[in-house]
Structure 1
Amino acid sequence: MAMSFDPFSELDRLTGDLLQFRPGPRFMPVDLYRDQDQYILTADLPGVDPGSVDVDVDGQLLTVRANRTAAAHENAKWLTQERPHGTYLRQFSLGDGVDSSRISASYDNGVLSVHIPVSEKAKPRKIQVTSAPQSDEAKSISV
């Protein structure tokens, strides 16, 4: 039986394992898409206490922070401890096309959802095209 070896997938696996245990803010996977007149950002934060989730806007910078505390078991002899804990942090530049005063967020079953409305000035709109009335000179030329 022949087995194939993909060095890139193996490198991705090893890199992911190493980055998981690095000090500092943890990686927070997100999805971001536009649905009609709003952007929706969803972030996976399993096991995070909802009280530790912080979403704030400073100018055009949206910051999402959360904290997952380590399991505290007295007299435990750990055999393996792979679930990451610590601070999660992501920042996003909003740009001028959003209404930052109406951003809302909710946290349900380990998923943070942030709704970012599109500003009125950035919404697509139809521009009416008018025609100028023809002058007497233009009327005589077109005959």
Structure 2
Amino acid sequence: MAAFDPFREMDRLLGDVTRTPASVAMPMDLYRTGDDFVAHIDLPGVDPDSIDIDMDGATVTIRAERKTPVDGDAQWLVRERAAGTFARQLTLGRGLATDRISADYSDGVLTLTIPVAETAKPRKIAVQHPNRPTQIEGSVEETHEA
């Protein structure tokens, strides 16, 4: 008769429910600051050489691998840190300078900086009036009331 292992039994009962989706394995903050969108993606314990970022049309795909730090003979008691290859996709809207996206990995955080395209930035358009007389400075007479 095999000994009862509560951790193994819990794993059997929960099955795939305990597996983490990409949004949990790769949590992200996304915000706009000035003329840039910035995404911070948490990737602690990931080898920077395993990070792969691809651009296909308007979709950015981020892949990274986190390896298990122990050998296969270990008897796990608690395993909450996801290991394996993870991927996350971001669909970008129009008006972004996708040719100028930059990426930096520091302290376990991948930072993507996505600039707004020059053509998408707000701008003023001058209104021309063809029949409007041009005023020459100093030609308007000032009136003062006493």
When normalised by structure 1's length, the TM-score is 0.72
RMSD: 2.5
Asked which structure has the greater CA Rg, the reply is 2
2:27 equivalent among 15, 26, 29: 29
Deviation at 1:86, TM superposition (A): 1.2
Q: Which runs of 5+ in 2 are unaligned?
A: 1-15, 133-146
| Alpha-carbon distance in structure 1 between the residues aligned to 2:94 and 2:23 | 28
State how far apart, in whole Å, the 1-side matches of 2:23 and 2:65 are. Answer: 9
CA shift digits 1:3-44 (9 cap, x unpaired) = xxxxxxxxxxxxxxx654258896311111111111111101
User: Matched residues in 2 for 1:25 and 1:108: separation?
Assistant: 20
For these two proteins, the number of residue pairs brought into alignment is: 118
Residues 68/33 of structure 1: CA separation in 2 closer, same or farther (3 Å cut):
same
Alignment of 1:9-24 (within 5 A): 19-21=17-19
1:71 corresponds, among 45, 56, 69, to 69
Give distance in 1, aligned partners of 2:37 and 2:72.
44
Task: Give me the TM-score of the superposition, normalised by structure 2.
Answer: 0.71
Distance change >3 Å, CA 75–CA 89, structure 1 → 2: closer
Q: Deviations over 1:47-97 (max 9, x none)?
A: 111111111211111111111111223643322222111122111111221
Identity %: 47
Moved over 6 A (4+): 23-26
